[in-house]
Amino acid sequence: MKRRDFIGIGSIAGVACAAKRTNTFGFSTGGNDERPDVLLIMPDQMRGDCLSALSHPVVRTPTLNKLASEGALFERAYATVPSCIPARYAMLTGLSPQSSGVVGFAAKTITTPTLPDVLASHGYSTVLVGRNMHQKKESGTCGYQKNILGSTYVSNDEYDRFLRREAPESGGIRKLIRSSGNDVNLWLASSWPLNDDLHPTTWTVARSKDVIRNESPDKPLFLTTSFYSPHPPLFSPKKYFNRHMASILPGPARGDWVDWDAVPSEGTPPYTRIWFSGERCRRAQAGYFGLIEQIDTEIDSLIRQFKERSEKAGRPWVIVFTSDHGEMLFDHGYFRKCEPYQGAANIPFIIAASPEMGLEHGLRNRQPVCLEDIMPTVLALAGVRAPSCVDGTNLVPVLRGKRQNIREVLHFEHARCYSDEQEFHALTDGRYKYIWRPATGREQLFDLDHDPSEINDLSLADSSTEQLEMWRKRLIKRLEGRPEGFVQNGELVTGRPYPPLNRTTPLFENEASTR
């Protein structure tokens, strides 16, 4: 990444991208028949390794495998701030955390154009179905012209009213979760207690199909199908839950760098540092893996109907599948997210398209990509120029087979959420991952090609001294000028305040951007 001239958010360059989002931005586009329909499928908290295309030992995802064969699967995709609010902010705006100032679990009003904003200004119908984007009320609808909302933690949204109407004995989704012994943030797991057609995942797909049928074919469609699964509550339908409970499940990763004596086996809020084995671990895994398999099954018909809509309208189609962040699922003694390790930060990232879009089929890529890349990539496929402030990289040349570097390194981070020790900065070039903890100064280095589960911390080996120094210098260059003061006199400094919102962060530009 290469800096602009340390221009602050309130400067001329910052304001240039802060126009009211209802404006028309004046970018050029092709004719109606050239604009693809776009389907963004977004689970919540899905790990990047939970795809059978990546040889996961138990999770079966034939629908996603087929989708990847129609385009590209990016194996080293990351949430640059791996928790829901900042990750979704980055996806919607294309802004890196260093540009937006959203560096942790905190909400900030969106004032820059979003992906659905820009598409709407170019004649698209923009619709969100399912889990909301988790932004401040002042951000409005984030550019979605229609919202059909359903979650598992919100009372009286469309899904909750549906459930109360169809299953009045449930008392609504919140009561149902409590009565089934589950929780919206914990590892507690059980099978879904009602008919499968009442499950929030099934409802989200059904409402998305309604949109596909009912939206005018005269306009291109940008549909976001947003699932709350596999985020807890871990209540997959019985057929998935029971199958995994009867299977041999993989044990969580156990890093040789973990002080296992210090990891508790019983948890109190916020439930992030925990180690389970045995029945509790198996049930959590069965619920989590089952929710992913349910999504894969349900979206098969959704994808088919979406493609049929486009074909009938004489329009191409584009489908993106990703998640806001992953889930540690007890790896290295962690549960939930906000960590730099693969379980939490690595996300699924598939982009597929109809043949006329010219994408290479079956592409596998291990270069680092991130949620910020979705906005410029989708806009480029739609024939629309991205706003000048967008930090993400347009991946279309790579998708069409061009052999080029997407970026030299990707930086991702998380400010204090549950504890100071959780703060991190990380860099990856797709093979190696370097981690620095600003509260303690601890460094880690992993070789993801040879050690994808991050079992062996190379920073503990004397032979890695020079390599550690190289990565440390890269991070110093990246963090120079940050208002938190992470770098002083050319050295990393520990113990600096690291709030989740930083309103004076400099703007940065991706030197490899092809926008």
Does 515 reside within a domain?
A: no
CATH number assigned to the domain comprising residue 28: 3.40.720.10
What 3-state class would DSSP assign to 32?
helix
* Residue 238: exposure state from Cβ atoms within 10 A (0-12, 13-18, ≥19): middle
Spatial separation of the C-alpha atoms in residues 386 and 122, rounded to whole Å: 12
Asked if residue 279 is part of any domain, the answer here is: yes
What amino acid is encoded at 454 in this protein? E
Give the model's pLDDT for residue 323. Answer: 98
pLDDT tens across the length of the chain (515 residues): 333 322 222 222 333 464 444 333 333 333 445 899 999 999 999 999 999 999 999 999 999 999 999 999 999 999 999 999 999 999 999 999 999 999 999 999 999 999 999 999 999 999 999 999 999 999 999 999 999 999 888 889 999 999 999 999 999 999 999 998 888 988 999 999 999 999 999 999 999 999 999 999 999 999 999 999 999 999 999 999 999 999 999 999 999 999 999 898 887 666 688 888 889 999 999 999 999 999 999 999 999 999 999 999 999 999 999 999 999 999 999 999 999 999 999 999 999 999 999 999 999 999 999 999 999 999 999 999 999 999 999 999 999 999 999 999 999 999 998 888 899 999 999 999 999 999 999 999 999 999 999 999 999 999 999 999 999 999 999 999 999 999 999 999 999 999 999 865 444 443 333 32
One-letter amino acid at 180 equals S
Tell me if 326 is assigned to some domain.
yes
pLDDT of amino acid 267: 72
Q: Which of 326, 330, 339, 344 is nearest to 274 (CA)?
A: 330
Contact status, residue 381 vs residue 36, Cβ threshold 8 Å: yes
What pLDDT is stored for residue 393 in this prediction? 98
Would you give the distance in Å from CA 384 to the centre of its chain? 23
Write down the number of H helices and E strands in the chain: 14, 19
pTM value? 0.93
Domain that holds residue 65: 2-509
The Cα 266–Cα 277 span in angstroms is 11
Q: How many domains does the chain have?
A: 1
Contact 116/384 with Cβ under 8 angstroms?
no
Scored b (16 or more CB within 10 A) or e, 434-467 reads bbbbbbeeebbbbebeeeebbebbbbeeeebeeb
Residue 178: inside a domain, yes or no?
yes
Q: Is residue 94 part of a domain?
A: yes
Is residue 514 in a domain? Answer: no
Decide if 224 is inside a domain: yes
Cα–Cα nearest to 36, from 325, 307, 402, 342: 307
CA distance 469 to 383: 43
Looking at the domain assignment, is residue 388 inside a domain? yes
